[in-house]
Amino acid sequence: MKALVVAGARPNFMKVAPILEQLQCAGAERVFVHTGQHYDVSMSEAFFRDLELPAPDFYLGVGSGSHAKQTARVMEAFEPVLVESKPDWVVLVGDVNSTLACALVAAKLRQSLGCRVAHVEAGLRSNDWNMPEEVNRVLTDRVSDLLLTPSHDAVPNLLREGIAPERMVFVGNVMIDSLMKQLPAARALNMAARVGVEGKPFVLATLHRPSNVDDRRQLGEILEGLAAISREATVVLPLHPRTRDRIKEFGFESLSESLSILEPLGYREMLGLLDAAAVTITDSGGVQEESTVLGVPCATLRETTERPVTITEGTNRLAEWPLTSERIVSAYRAAMADGRKQVGERVPDGWDGRAAERVVRALMSQPAYDPAAS
């Protein structure tokens, strides 16, 4: 079996690392493509180092741009790579623009190349069509042959969209494979001491969703909320480039003065800091999942989540909507009152560090490509 695996942006790297490793263990032929949607050392290279990722066989270098430009650039650059590689499977993870772009290319070459598309993290839905990721999720799932689900709640979402149950395989959460593998090394970094919060309860915040940071009023409320929290506990905020640019553009530097602002962190650094935090406040999907496994109470600054199991079976809560600085403080206090849990104390099914094994098993056990079936 030959599998072509795609990564493009920061949240993809921890998902592809265990899949690439398990493909190698299974003796499968693998091709690794990095689209270059994220390209800064801190957004890309640091993750290759921390996750021990192999160098990509193809680097597409697409970079930043509007959604249309970025998606189109990935499509144009990916098509010849796919034609040259002729894999049995194109393995796509997550919900970023690179995911959808490669899904569209592969779906249209399916018949001529005999390749099929497998989507890892299929079936998550926020039902918020203003999120670019929701568009990417729904359309990627629609054109995929094999839908590899991370949690059981994904199945009714896919059934509602008319996807046949025979195309779905429950595999669990591949991101947790990386978390479990890297946790000892992350702890050894002693990140709390490195950022000067050792022995003190601190809050780790992350913020990058366009709906939160590109809107002046919304970003102002969030920074005011974090500033109010910083009077009770140190707030550490590793800053995504998008958020850094907006703070500057809106002239919000004074609002962020009381926060402990860091450059974007590598995978192990972020994991080490999250593991040491009393509470996390985030708008990231990945942090909601990682904090659940680590037992860190999480307050999510979003109206909805495509990962409801982190609430029903984990440590997550949504801040009351619409967001105000007071509501952010309330969500923080409620999370703080919940207190830390043990690592793995409340974890959804299949978030066990062995999801990538199940991904590779699912790929290898599918019947051979049948053009009449697609």
| Residues with catalytic function | 208
Minimum separation from the CB atom of position 95 to ligand UD1 (A): 6
Residue 344 in tokens: 């793995």
Minimum separation from the CB atom of position 337 to ligand UD1 (A): 28
39 touches ligand UD1 by CB under 6 A: yes
**Quick one: which of 372, 312, 299 has its CA closest to 348?**
312
**Site residue total, ligand UD1 (CB under 6 A):** 19
Residue given tokens 């801040």 in the structure block: 319
Of 1 and 135, which has the nearer Cβ to ligand UD1?
135
- C-alpha 356/C-alpha 351 separation (Å) is 11
37 touches ligand UD1 by CB under 6 A: yes
Binders of ligand UD1 among 187-216, rule CB under 6 A? 208
Minimum separation from the CB atom of position 306 to ligand UD1 (A): 11
Residue 213 in tokens: 């940071």
How far apart, in Å, are the Cα atoms of 86 and each of 41, 59, 78, 358?
A: 30, 17, 12, 23
Judged by DSSP in three states, 233 sits in: coil
Judged by DSSP in three states, 91 sits in: strand
Of 9 and 124, which has the nearer Cβ to ligand UD1?
9
Residue 46 in tokens: 């640091």
Residue 64 exposure: Cα atoms within 13 Å on the Cβ side: 5
In the shown chain, the binding pattern of residues 47 to 76 toward ligand UD1, with x for contact by CB under 6 A and - for none, equals -----------------x-----x------
Minimum separation from the CB atom of position 78 to ligand UD1 (A): 15
In the shown chain, the binding pattern of residues 230 to 269 toward ligand UD1, with x for contact by CB under 6 A and - for none, equals ----------xxx---------------------------
Binders of ligand UD1 among 80-139, rule CB under 6 A? 95-97, 132-133
Q: Where are the beta strands (DSSP E) in the chain?
A: 2-7, 29-34, 58-59, 89-93, 116-120, 146-149, 168-170, 202-206, 234-238, 260-262, 279-282, 298-300, 316-318
Minimum separation from the CB atom of position 11 to ligand UD1 (A): 5
Q: Which residues of the chain form contacts with ligand UD1 (CB under 6 A)?
A: 9-11, 37-40, 43, 64, 70, 95-97, 132-133, 208, 240-242
